[in-house]
Amino acid sequence: MTESASAPARGTPKAVLALLLATLLGVGACTGAQGGGGSAQADDTAGPEPAVPAQVTVTPEAGSENVAPRDEVSVTVTGGTIASVALTNPEGEEVEGELAGDRTTWSVTEPLGYDKTYTFSGEASGADGAPVPIEGSFTTATPEATVGVSSNVGDGRTYGVAMPIALNFDAPVENRAAVERALQVETTPDIEGSWAWLYGGRSVHWRPKEYWEPGTEVSVSANVYGVRTGEGTYGGNDLTVDFSIGRSQIVKANTQTHRMEVFRDGEKVAEYRASFGLESDPGRVTRSGVHVVMAKHDKYFMNNPGYGYEDFEVDWAVRISNNGEFAHSAPWSVADQGERNVSHGCINLAPDNAKEYYDSAMIGDPFEIEGSSQPLRQSRTDYYDWTIPWDEWTTLSALND
């Protein structure tokens, strides 16, 4: 009884073990199918990435207003290329532009007009092959006023080694950094120089750190048309000018020794006895500092009603400032020349000496005067650039860091 009752108990573990083993194997097989098999099934069924349509960005955004004529105007395409593009003005004329080699960007290459609506048109193509329109329009600014720019140097002219470049504006410039970024001076050979804003923003001058190297070729461009010069005001014109620097001629004059020496290309070529402004009268003193030859006149009529003369004719007059300072012929003061100062501020020379210097002088030549009790004035119409130390000069740039 005991043995017959216990026999099934000995058989049961074998059946259970077989069942458990079968179950475990089955579970393992399912798990393997889910992990490896499921992953393989995903790879087998995945197709190619769906093609993405081209994305078009126009700058400025469609509907923009008050766009400056020199602001960025462009088309950029991501996920595709530009098939065709145009920007047209209200008359239907196309604006000049440049398409990049990879055909993903297009940019305007000429300034736009004021108070005009411009319209984009064209088409981009994406990887999906579907065309995407290039479209949108914007309107340029209507200036309250435009500010013109002019230059003191002329195209094809030759100047002395102290000649500053002066760009003069019709009105004060408030947005000086933007305007200065639109200015460029290129020289051959390369020369260190800097812009400086003078006269309350009505003028910006460029000069080298030292006098120009003789023979330098200079190219100036002022691309200020369409640039915001201030609140509601914009540049009215562009300007370009090319000029040359001639030989070096430097005058060194001393009011105390009553002498004027001329150095050409480093060698002394002349020395003249001279009479300078009467020192006992502050209104007649010849001022010290680096002057610059500004003009030449074979005959000139001097006017100074405060000192009792008008339309007083002199010969061989070389203007070195707008304070009324000239080097000129003065036959009436020959006896004083080299001995004492008696003029009203000019440099008096004997007639032959005045003619010789006149013939040699070039606009832009430096005329260095020392010994005077008063310095050259900083006035809007003078070239007082060289009286400002270089370290101070560079701080007058709107782009100075």
Q: What's residue 22's pLDDT?
A: 41
DSSP per residue over 166-227, as a string? EEEESS--S-HHHHHHTEEEEEES---EEEEEEGGGTEEEEEESSSPPTT-EEEEEE--BT-
Length of the chain: 401
Active centre residues (catalytic): 328, 346
Cα(229)–Cα(283) distance, integer angstroms: 39
Radius of gyration over every alpha carbon of the chain, rounded to an integer in angstroms: 41
Cα(77)–Cα(105) distance, integer angstroms: 6
> Hey, what amino acid is at 221?
S
Maximum pairwise Cα distance, the chain: 165
Q: What's residue 304's pLDDT?
A: 85
Q: What's residue 45's pLDDT?
A: 56
Q: Which residues of the chain have pLDDT under 50?
A: 1-42
Q: What's residue 324's pLDDT?
A: 87
Quote the tokens at residue 384. Answer: 């007082």
> Hey, what amino acid is at 20?
L
Q: What's residue 44's pLDDT?
A: 52
- Residue 53, φ and ψ in degrees, nearest 5: -70, 155
Q: What's residue 13's pLDDT?
A: 46
Cα(98)–Cα(76) distance, integer angstroms: 12
Q: What's residue 294's pLDDT?
A: 97
Q: What's residue 27's pLDDT?
A: 43
Q: In what order do the strands lie in the sheet with 295-304?
A: 295-304, 309-319, 326-329, 347-349
> Hey, what amino acid is at 261?
E
E strand intervals along 224-371: 228-230, 233-235, 239-245, 249-254, 259-264, 267-273, 289-292, 295-304, 309-319, 326-329, 347-349, 366-370
Total-model pTM = 0.81
Cα(173)–Cα(175) distance, integer angstroms: 6
List the domains of the chain with CATH numbers: 55-139 (2.60.40.3780), 145-246+390-394 (2.60.40.3710), 249-370 (2.40.440.10)
Q: How far is CA 401 from CA 181, 228, 251, 394, in A?
A: 14, 21, 35, 10
How far the first Cα of the chain sits from its last, in Å, is 111
57-64's contacts with Cβ under 8 Å and 24+ in sequence apart are 58/120, 58/134, 58/135, 58/136, 60/138, 61/136, 61/138, 62/120, 62/135, 62/136, 62/137, 62/138, 63/136, 63/137, 63/138, 64/138, 64/139
Q: What's residue 11's pLDDT?
A: 43
Alpha helices, DSSP H only, in 246-389? 351-360
